[in-house]
Amino acid sequence: MHITQLNRECLLHLFSFLDKNSRRNLAKTCHKLLEVFEDPLLWSLLNFHSPVELKKDNFLLGPALKYLSICWYSERVKVCNIEDWMKNSFQRDFCNRHENTVRDFLLQVCNRCPNLLSLTLSGCGHVTDDSILLLLKSCPKLRTLKLENCVRITDRTLQAVMLHGGALHTLHVDFCRNITQAGLQRVREQCPSVILRAERSANMIPDSQPEKKLMLERASRKLVQL
């Protein structure tokens, strides 16, 4: 039997075992397999492991998407976790490209995926409070939000959770250095049903302006001299 003689349910099941590139390559072989590739039921879960993957045409975003994970840990991406005022011009250009890519992708998620239930962002130093706020507004069914090492996330995201995360059940903000203890405490008080985890976040040194950093260094030197 040729693969195209299988019914739609069997083909969807077979496609579900393939990665995004394999699905796309198989879909290019005939119209019937392309129709299977474009079936929303095939795209309820998406995982990405590099910013480049977000710009490819080997996946579909739609109302069927319920579980989304964007996680990367490469040495090149770690540049984006450096404080902005410490970056050189090359690093800033590099980070701006990543920031635009991630922002545009999350905007598409907001516009096309209202039934999203779970979002995990790890190592995404380009994600901003504004993107998370818009996502919480656009995906009212979101139950799980996991943010790890998202250095631009601040207490504004926690405020957005309290205002728009009515369906939220689990919130992780691990290694987000600009989250404060006060912000976490407000979430615990106003959203007691939310399972909140913030490993290291409020205990990390937050970003600071160069002027403040210099003042701290000078003060420490004076103490040493005394």
The percentage of the chain sitting over the pLDDT mark of 70, rounded to a whole number, equals 78
Please check the confidence at residue 150 and state whether its pLDDT lies above 70.
yes
The predicted structure's pLDDT at residue 219: 53
Rounded to a whole number, what is the largest CA-CA distance in the chain?
86
Please check the confidence at residue 74 and state whether its pLDDT lies above 80.
no
Please check the confidence at residue 75 and state whether its pLDDT lies above 60.
no
Please check the confidence at residue 214 and state whether its pLDDT lies above 80.
no
The predicted structure's pLDDT at residue 218: 53
The predicted structure's pLDDT at residue 65: 97
The predicted structure's pLDDT at residue 90: 56
Report the distance separating Cα 95 and Cα 75, nearest Å.
Answer: 13
Encode pLDDT of 112-134 as tens digits: 999 999 999 998 878 899 999 99
- Of 11-25, 189-203, 206-220, the range with the highest mean pLDDT is 11-25
The string over 161-180, giving b where at least 16 C-beta atoms fall within 10 Å of a residue's C-beta and e elsewhere, is bbebbeebeebbbbbbbbbe
**Rounded to two decimals, what is the model's pTM?**
0.82
CB 152 within 8 Å of CB 102:
no
Q: Torsion over CA of 150, 147, 103 and 27, rounded to 10 degrees?
A: 130
Report the distance separating Cα 180 and Cα 158, nearest Å.
Answer: 10
List, in sequence order, the alpha helices (H) in 46-171. 89-112, 129-138, 155-164
The architecture CATH gives domain 43-224? Alpha-Beta Horseshoe (3.80)
CB 65 within 8 Å of CB 44:
yes
Residue with the larger pLDDT of the pair 71 and 221: 71
- The CATH 3.80.10 domain(s) of the chain lie at 43-224
CB 59 within 8 Å of CB 51:
no
Structure tokens at 214: 């210099």
From 1.20.1280, 1.10.357, 1.10.3470, 2.60.40, which CATH number describes the 1-42 domain?
1.20.1280
- The CATH 1.20.1280 domain(s) of the chain lie at 1-42
Instruction: With both helix axes pointing from N to C terminus, report the angle between 155-164 and 181-190 in degrees, rounded to the nearest 10.
Output: 10
Mean pLDDT of 49-54: 87
